[in-house]
Amino acid sequence: MKSSVYLTSCLLCLLVNGKAACRPQIGTLLEGLLKFIQEGVKFSEEEPPDAKEVLSEYDFIVVGAGSAGSVVANRLSEISDWDVLLIEAGGKENYLMDIPFIAPLWTLTDANWRYKTVPNGKSCLSLQNEQCVFHRGKVMGGSSTINFMVSTRGNRRNYDHWRDLGNPGWGYDDVLKYFLKSEKITIPELANDKKYHSTSGELTVSYAPYRTPLADAFVQGGAELGYNIIDYNGATQTGFSYLQSTTKPGTRMSASRAFLHPIRNRKNFHVKKRSLVTKLLIDPITKTTFGVQFVRNKKKYEVRARKEVILSAGAVNSPQLLMVSGIGPREHLNDLKIPLIQDLKVGYNLMEHPGLPTVTFLVNQSVTFLSSEVLTNVTASKEYLFYHGGPFSVPGGSEAIAFIDTRDPKNPDGDPNIELFYISGCISSDPTYYKFAGYSHEFYNAVYKPIEGVHCWTALPMVLQPKSRGRIILKSADPHEKPLIYHDIFQNPEDLETQLLAIKETLKLSKTQAFQKFGSRLHDIPVPGCKHLEFISDDYWRCAAKQTSIGIWHLSGTCKMGNSSDPDAVVDPRLKVYGVKGLRVIDASIMPVVPAAHTNVPSIMVGEKGADLVKEDWGLIPLSG
């Protein structure tokens, strides 16, 4: 029963060292993969097959099979009279992607678009080439197939704010039903709360079946500091909790697995994988979208849409596709000689939650995850293969979470502006982690190589209500070229001060009795770029934040939703692109303000509501008002 150990260790070798260095292990890798599948591990049904023949015309064409697009394709194809085509640039999932513990590996593969920001000399200074790494899934299920599986919705005030910005129908009372529609919670003590949870949806949400002692210390430490232990997806959000994850205990529940696998046999539903949509087909006179152009295996195709084209390609690809098709800022498109269809603020309002993985604590007991220990533990391997339990069932080593309102910390119904994301490990716990985060070799060797093999933990402090904004622009008119991403995550100085407050909360937590039982102490090798400052002073932490904070995969806002009086709006509250017929955007890019949440589940909610808006507008369900 050592096959999964062989398999995972070989994968690590290949990803970290390359094929040549691991040549002796490649045979073992293939043997392990075969045995792994043959040993009867029960995964979901296969995803929908790639359509052998694409029709010349569909009622709806959905671009992007990520968190929102998977939902949209599912809900629209419920109507048997509607033909739906889903186009995805990436390929199919594989069985290994369902193993929660090894989630960071997939960001180092072709399942990730591997976007990086343009260096600005102000943030991500200790990362390779001073570029922030922005992970985006290029695979069926999108980022939900390669992320850390965190299930958070955000605060009710986030959605009421969307409504108050001029977006009727997007308040919390309006969107809660869509969170519930998707969810299938399997946590018994939460499942009884019928107002805030559902057991009938497709997206399974659970606790990991395995837990380290330090996960308990995190939650108990929060209680010591006076915070409540809560259900953060329930009535209130502030407090500490074990992590609710999009897992079917022990295995990943991606959006593809939840929403596409069950409909693989629908006759009116087609999928084209490894197909890059390169242009929206729009009549320049009537400004009506009538189809898409896509490329597969270097061959160009055109498909028409009888009713609508729906962009669900995400906060980078949706604005890129709009702009290469002539929808975007007039001056920018003129510079690239792209014929203008509609002048809109596409690509602006880029938001991301900055987080700091380098506030690291060491412990004197073997109570955290070291990948070298987990991957060679035959008992852990057996426990996962037979029961989907043990360390392999923990999403990327993340076990708990806290939401805090630093402006009113003792208010049980606060409006959180920081998050502490607990991971039973640190950058040195896994040989791929610093590459996943994007740090330079020099930074890693100076700060983390000296503690390799030492048990450690991280409560990654995160800014939840960032005021900084970035922008995505085209590098050229060529849709195959990645766009340019400009984002200084601390451009607004308030965000840096909020990050400092989050760091201080982490330091307080580390000093609680719950953590001191394990001899917890701050890792004291300073960030090289901040050596000139007094260690752990406020100025040191401000410097460390600029040097080492990273994005947490929550890109949003680049096709902003707003009413007709909002000069920055790209789509209206029904998600229709202003001034262009037959075209909607339904994904995280429409979020006017990023919610205080990891954005996978909110994106699924946007997909649910967006699909209903389409059905309403085509007379299939009554208008919700």
Q: Residues marked as binding for FAD?
A: 139, 147-150, 277, 553-554
Does the annotation mark 554 as catalytic?
Answer: yes
Per DSSP, the three-state class of 602 is: helix
Does the annotation mark 598 as catalytic?
Answer: yes
Q: Which long-range contacts (CB under 8 A, 24 or more apart) does 74-78 make?
A: 74/202, 74/259, 74/260, 74/262, 74/263, 74/611, 75/607, 75/608, 75/611, 75/612, 75/615, 76/611, 76/614, 76/615, 77/263, 77/266, 77/268, 77/269
Per the annotation, where are the binding residues?
139, 147-150, 277, 553-554
d(CA 519, CA 525): 18
Q: Of 575, 300, 71, give the one whose Cα is nearest residue 292.
A: 300
- End-to-end, the C-alpha distance of the chain in Å comes to 57
Determine phi and psi for 493, rounding to 5 degrees.
-60, -20
Chain mean position to CA 490: 20
Three-class secondary structure assignment of 413-472: CCCCCEEEEEECCCCCCCCCHHHHHCECHHHHHHHCHHHCCCCEEEEEEEECCCCCCEEE
d(CA 282, CA 296): 21
Catalytic residue among 261, 388, 523, 598: 598
Q: Which residue has the tokens 């073997």?
A: 366
Catalytic residue among 261, 270, 487, 554: 554
Looking at residue 143, the DSSP 8-state letter turns out to be G
d(CA 160, CA 156): 6
d(CA 139, CA 506): 35
Which residues are identified as catalytic? 554, 598
